[in-house]
Amino acid sequence: MIEQFERLPGIGPRTAQRLALHLLRQPEEQTRSFAEALLAARTQVGHCRRCFHLSADPLCEICRNPERRTGEICVVADSRDLLALERTREYRGSYHVLGGLISPMDGIGPELLQIQPLVARVAGQPEPIQGAPGGDPPLADPPIQEVILALTPSVEGDTTSLYLARLLRPFTRVSRIAYGLPMGSELDYADEVTLARALEGRRPME
């Protein structure tokens, strides 16, 4: 059990041992529920047919929400980034999860990511979504007014952003979130790229 926990990202030997001992001290019913939840998640959770976020249904909870602004699409690399943005409670549009970033060094090209479905959504030609609750939804989103690229500020993130911008600009406005200094940080500890991004993302004071 300890060896299995150590395989999880961010879990070292001591943490793995602590988790294993904790589970052994739990009632058998609770341990069984934990194991069943793991198996159920592995077999039942897939991807939303529209935005490719994790979902147990054909359409995820966000895509089913009628209060979301469907004229905006925020593009993220994976579902962890989507959940991070949702925690801010600032963005109320829709999403598109690429499933990674373009990385030639790792053998990840555009064809391995969910880029073509994104272009189809923005161009108004998405694939039909079969089996959605309440019948098939409309085949196309309302006209997309803006695509927001929320990709990691790295070589791979910049490469992917430039590639997407070139594909999407013929159809709509494309923007990228600003990157800068975190609250409470010191200027002399920031690297050159972070400072440059902070200057580029400056806004007028109101």
- The domain spanning residue 138 has which CATH number? 3.40.1360.10
Same domain flag for 116 and 14: no
Same domain flag for 144 and 192: yes
pLDDT at position 194? 75
- As a whole number, the mean pLDDT across the chain is 87
Is residue 135 over pLDDT 50?
A: no
The mean per-residue pLDDT over the stretch 57-66 comes to 94
Domain membership of residue 18 as a residue range:
2-44
Same domain flag for 10 and 77: no
Residue 19: which CATH number? 1.10.8.420
> Three-state SS string across the chain, please?
CHHHHHCCCCCCHHHHHHHHHHHHHCCHHHHHHHHHHHHHHHHHCEECCCCCCEECCCCCHHHHCCCCEEEEEEEECCHHHHHHHHHHCCCCEEEEECCCCCEHHHCECHHHCCHHHHHHHHHCCCCCCCCCCCCCCCCCCCCCCEEEECCCCCHHHHHHHHHHHHHHCCCCEEEECCCCCCCCCCHHHCCHHHHHHHHHCCCCCC
Same domain flag for 25 and 112: no
Examine residue 26 and state whether it is found in any structural domain, yes or no.
Answer: yes
The mean per-residue pLDDT over the stretch 107-132 comes to 83
